[in-house]
A = this chain, B = another copy of it.
Amino acid sequence: MDPALVEIVLVRPRHPGNVAAACRAMKNMGLSRLCLVGPPPGLVEPDARALAYGAWDVLDGARVASTLGEAVAPSTLVAGTTGRGVPGAWTPRRLAGEAEARAAPAGLSVVFGPEASGLTSAELALCHVHVHVPTHDDQPSLNLAQAVLLVAYELRLRALASAALVSDEGAPAAPVTAGELEGAVQDLREALLAAGFLDPANPDHILAELRRLLARAGPTPREITLLRGIARQVGWAGRVARGRSPA
């Protein structure tokens, strides 16, 4: 996909040097959009500047978001990286292959967690797909800039291949942004709580499954309207049924 539609999101990176090295890796692969959620101090210090050699435009152009939700709201597809091989996780190559179709029109956010711990379960649950680099079990952990490099490399190869063979497979209806999808997911949350399907003590695990299912489909605005309409009616039925029944 168009590199201008890709944003790398670094969540609570601890070391400014790693952010700087990630900027270089991005620029190596033609990416320029960076978002920092909770950036570390020291990004303007000489050490970090040196590690970002030649990629200062990426570092200085980074936008800062206060939460992951805010960071990814403008994107259509949100991919969360994980060092653990979770079931159903995509390889960076598969992400690059699918992003073209699924991240239009508003783009792709690729999210990386803190160096030591990675993204939390709650943060991964906010992501539409999970991405895992299939490293060897004897030394599974990549450093942050290397993980960024590998994902950016796959996106670049794919973009180069697409540019080489410009095809027009017809224009499918454009999927909505992550923020619009999230609106429908939250409506479904309320509805399924009202109907007694979700456990009020722990609704998020199942909700995360629903979010991933819907995000994989890439809903159109029309489909989001449909889902919100269903949620409204189910919420009504749930409130009436549970308000009036012994259960």
Q: Which residues of A approach B to under 8 Å, CB–CB?
A: 24-25, 27-30, 54-55, 87-91, 93-94, 97, 132-136, 138-142, 146, 149-150, 153, 156-157, 160, 166, 168-170, 172-173, 192, 194-197, 206, 209-210, 213-214, 216-220, 222-223, 226, 229-230, 233-234, 236-242, 244-245
Contacts and interface: CB of A to CB of B under 8 A. Distances in A.
Contact of A157 (B87, B91, B197, B241): B91
A57 to B, nearest CB: 9
A27 B166 CA distance: 30
A102 to B, nearest CB: 10
B169 A93 contact: yes
Contacts of A210: 226
19 contacts: A28-B141, A28-B142, A54-B138, A55-B139, A88-B172, A89-B170, A91-B169, A132-B170, A134-B166, A146-B149, A195-B233, A210-B226, A214-B217, A217-B217, A234-B237, A240-B240, A240-B244, A241-B244, A244-B244
B29 A136 contact: yes
Contact of A139 (B28, B90, B233): B28
A213 B217 contact: yes
Contacts of A219: 213
A93 B168 contact: yes
B233 A237 contact: no
- Sorted nearest first, the 10 A-B pairs with minimum C-beta distance are A240-B241, A217-B217, A30-B136, A27-B139, A237-B241, A197-B233, A91-B170, A216-B217, A241-B241, A195-B237
Contacts of A238: 234, 237, 241
